[in-house]
Structure formats: structure tokens, C-alpha cells
Amino acid sequence: MNSQLRQIPQIETLLRLPDVLSLTDAFSHSEVAAALRDELGDLRAAVLAGKRGELPDFNGAAFRAAVEDRLTRIRQPNLRAVINATGIIIHTNLGRARLAPEALQAMQDVGAHPSNLEFNLETGKRGSRYAHAEALICELTGAEAALVVNNCAAAVVLGLMGTATGRKVVVSRGELVEIGGSFRLPDVIAQSGATLKEVGATNKTRTRDYADAIDDDTAVLLKSHTSNFKIIGFTSSPKREDLAELAKAHDLILMEDLGSGVLINLAPYGLTDEPVVRDILAAGVDLVMFSGDKLLGGPQAGIIAGRADIIAGLRSHPLLRALRIDKLSLAALEATLRLYRAPFDPLKRVPVLRMLSEPVIEVEARAGLLVAMLGDMGVTGAEVVPASAFVGGGSLPQQDLASFAVSLHLEGLSADALAEALRKGAMPIIGRIHQGRVQLDMRTVSDDELRSIAAAIGDIASR
Ligand SMILES: *Cc1c(COP(=O)(O)O)cnc(C)c1O
């Protein structure tokens, strides 16, 4: 063992070997030295642990490739693309909505060139960044006016600061939600300088409860979509029409934090709990807030839509500047919204909607294709199994979507070890472990990712 350790050369010696030295064509001298140090460190550890038979040929292709592999990994960006095989369509930890090609193109155009972000091409004078998406949002939701900010959390904060600071906001006890990342509605209301007035009970709140709570200090009746949990059983909450009537009678603003916010009816795809923005506004809600990167399927953004007089007030709020949307997100949002208009079919063009509306037989076919590709590579231990996919992103917690997955078992690898190997590949693949097997859900994977997935699995199987 000690003699083997002594045969491991010094880094300076290795750097004089032509094959190793040629790595400095593409990488700096210090990067190559660092990669060599790591490679030799692992080698020494393996020898000491008795896990190493022969030492490698330090002047050979295999050693060079191992060092080059380390160098390539060092150069990889920290934030990078992965394959989402979790079956959760809007996975917050994996970046939520995938963007449509049209949205990516818009970001490319606006990012690579100057743009009319705040310049009016008609008049040649200063313009507003908030004008670009407004008409589209109004057209798609029936709103009088709209304002786009950084995300839905910012939209809620701005909405409250612009209407209720120093006054009272009435909320049902059944809707005092925490969205995640410690964004809790009661705290947000407090931060906006308003006072929370809770009404009703966790499971039941009536219009009467809101009415009884209203006094001279009340400014807003706030509804929040209980998007990430569900209270079932003996429950009721007032109709929006009734709350709208109440708000109107007392000259209050009825506001609703929708979270996901869908622009088209998704009930035909089994998603019955997400109300359509247009219907909510038609029911008399004055102001709605929703996300750009949940079921809308666009970039991170927060959309405020509703009454023009209220939105005019928000537009001149000093905090708006701190919450504003950036030009790349705005470009992607506008392009995504255009996909909701004729002649496009958003269910085909917006990736989030395409994934959740894809017929399950097509998902099954994709799973079959991956298993066949693996079979051609000589990988056994992959099979097609039925699975449940979810919308995610805090939406529809109890509604699962029929799906199919590829269940994987590779000889000599535990499910945890296989999941880790998939995560650590050149193109990381994130699956889930179900009943002791790694499952790759095919509802959240696209056809053009199958080749990478098969290659990664083949690579792990051949180690
Ligand atoms: C997700 C969610 C938000 C926050 O949206 P972001 O765009 O992530 O800021 C706010 N309210 C509700 C009800 C949500 O579901």
C-alpha cells in the first residue's frame, strides 16, 4: 500500500506530461493543478481504504479524461438546467414553469438589444414599462386595468399598501394562509401597515360575519385562495357576488389573492378548484393578484388586475419602484400571454398547460419509448408503471393527474444511490423514490429529453 502511495507522482511532475499539459490549452494552469490535486487526493484515499487495485497510467487517456471531467464540472454554472422527472409540473424548487419557445425568443431579443422598455415609439417621449402587457391582460381577463410587478407576493403587498395602510383589512379565519417561504397573510397585512380583522371560523365564514366586522376604519375585504391546503367536510364561505355587494354598499375594496390564477377553464382536465380570473372579476371582485409562473405558464411575475381607479393609485405608489418587473420577465410574460389568443391554442403552446392536459396514453407511450431505448442499450431493470402527477406550485393539493413513470432498478445500486447518481450527472435528472424504486415520471418530461435520460442511465449502468 505504502509503495503504491509512493508511486503517485507529484503534481509538478504530472504537469510536464504532454497529455496533461495539453489541458492547459482550454483551462488555466491553476485550474488544472487544482483538478490534479483533487484527482490524486481521491486516488490516495482509495488506496488507503484498500479500494484501489492497479494505479492508473498517469500518461494515459483514461487519467487525462478523468482530470478533464473534473475541469468540465468546475466550469459548469451553479444555476443550470435539470430534467424534472418528479411528476410535479410547477415545481418551485426546480424553477416553476418552463417557458414557451416564443417567450424565450422574446427574452433573447430584448436582452440582446436595446428596447422600448420605457420609451414611447409613437411620440418619441418617455413611456411606461407597465404599458406593454396591460392591454393583453385586460383582453384576457375582462379587467379595466392591470399592473405587473415582480411576483404575486409583491402584488399582494403593493395592493394592500396602496389601499389599506392605517386601516383595517377583513379576512376569513379559513383563509389566513402561509404560502411558503414564510409568506404568511397575517404578517403581510401587518407589514403593509394595515390591521387584520379576522372573521368567521376556520371551516365556516358567512357574509354576515364580514358585515358585522365592518366599521369606519375598514378599507378592504380580502379573500385568499387556499391554494396549498384544503379544508373538507362541514365548510362554507360566502359567494363572491354577495361579498361584492357588501363591499359596494360600504364603499370598500374587495380584493382576492389568487396565487396561481388561471386564464382558461381547466375543469375538463380534472382541475376543478382553480377559478378563472375572468369569472372572479365578473363576480364583482375589484382587484385580483396572481402569479406569472404558476398555471399561467410564464416567467416570475405578479399580476394585479381589476378596477382602473384603484390601479391608478397603485401605479403612483412610491413602493412600486422597488417591486417592479424586469425587462426580460416582461418580454417573456407578454409573449406567453399572446399564446392565449387566436390563432394559438394555449393548451398546445404553453408548456405547463400542455403537460397537464396531455392525454395519459401519450405519457404512457413516452414511458414505453424510454424503456425501449434503454433496452436497445442493454439496460434491463426498467419498466413502465402507472403513477400520479401533480400540478404543484401550491396549486390543487389534492388533485392528482393520471400519469406513467419509468421505474428503475440497476443491479447493485440502492434506490438512494441511483437517485444520487442521476442527480449528479452532466444533465442532472430529478426523479422520486416510490416503494424502494426510482421512478421517473413522464408527464413532466418532454420527448426531446428522452435521449439525455437514456444516455445518463446507460452511463450509470455501465460503471
Ligand atoms: C404562490 C402564491 C403566492 C405567491 O406568489 P409568488 O408569485 O410566488 O410570489 C401568493 N398567494 C397565493 C395564494 C399563492 O398561492
| Tens-digit pLDDT profile for residues 307-330 | 999 999 999 999 999 999 999 999
Q: What's the pLDDT at 150?
A: 97
pLDDT digits (tens, 9 = 90+) for 66-120: 899 899 888 889 999 999 999 999 999 999 999 999 999 999 999 999 999 999 9
Percentage of the chain surpassing pLDDT 70?
98
Look at 15-24, 32-41, 247-256, 369-378 and tell me which has the smallest mean pLDDT: 15-24
Q: What's the pLDDT at 288?
A: 98
Grid cell in block for residue 172: 376569513
Find the helix or strand (DSSP H, E) in which 301 lies: none
| Ligand 1 close to Cβ of residue 179 (< 6 A) | yes
Looking at residues 239-255, what average pLDDT do you find? 97
Q: Cβ(278)–Cβ(144) under 8 Å?
A: no
Q: Cβ(443)–Cβ(353) under 8 Å?
A: no
Measure the CA–CA gap between 227 and 273, rounded to whole angstroms.
9
Query: How far is ligand 1, taken at its centre, from the CA of residue 180, in Å?
Result: 8
| DSSP string computed for 308-347 | HHHHHHHHT-GGGGGGBPPHHHHHHHHHHHHTTSTT--HH
| Ligand 1 close to Cβ of residue 153 (< 6 A) | yes
Looking at residues 233-240, what average pLDDT do you find? 84
Closest CA to ligand 1's atom 15: 259
> Structural domains in the chain?
2-75 (no CATH), 83-92+353-461 (3.90.1150.180), 101-346 (3.40.640.10)
Determine the distance from the C-alpha atom of residue 200 to the mean position of all C-alpha atoms in its chain, rounded to a whole number: 34
Q: Which ligand 1 atom lies nearest to the CA of residue 258?
A: 13
| Ligand 1 close to Cβ of residue 224 (< 6 A) | yes
Q: Which ligand 1 atom lies nearest to the CA of residue 393?
A: 1
Confidence of residue 218 (pLDDT cuts 50, 70, 90): very high
Q: Which ligand 1 atom lies nearest to the CA of residue 177?
A: 13
Measure the CA–CA gap between 6 and 395, rounded to whole angstroms.
60
Percentage of the chain surpassing pLDDT 90?
77
Q: What's the pLDDT at 178?
A: 81
Q: Cβ(279)–Cβ(127) under 8 Å?
A: no
Nearest 5°: the CA angle 112, 301, 170 is: 160
User: Hunting for cell 396572481 — which residue is that?
Assistant: 290
Residue 396 confidence (pLDDT) above 70? no
Cα end-to-end span (Å), the chain: 25
Q: What is the mean pLDDT of the chain?
A: 93
Neighbours of 354 (CB within 10 A): 18
| Ligand 1 close to Cβ of residue 225 (< 6 A) | yes
Sign of the Cα torsion 239, 283, 157, 231 reads positive
Q: Which ligand 1 atom lies nearest to the CA of residue 395?
A: 15
Query: What ranges in 113-151 are assigned the alpha helix state H?
Result: 131-141
Neighbours of 368 (CB within 10 A): 15
Confidence of residue 273 (pLDDT cuts 50, 70, 90): confident
Ligand 1, from 152, 185, 290: best to mutate by most atoms within 8 Å of Cβ?
152
3-state per-residue secondary structure call for 205-223? CCHHHHHHHCCCCEEEEEE
Q: Which ligand 1 atom lies nearest to the CA of residue 225?
A: 13
Measure the CA–CA gap between 4 and 15, rounded to whole angstroms.
20
Q: What's the pLDDT at 183?
A: 82
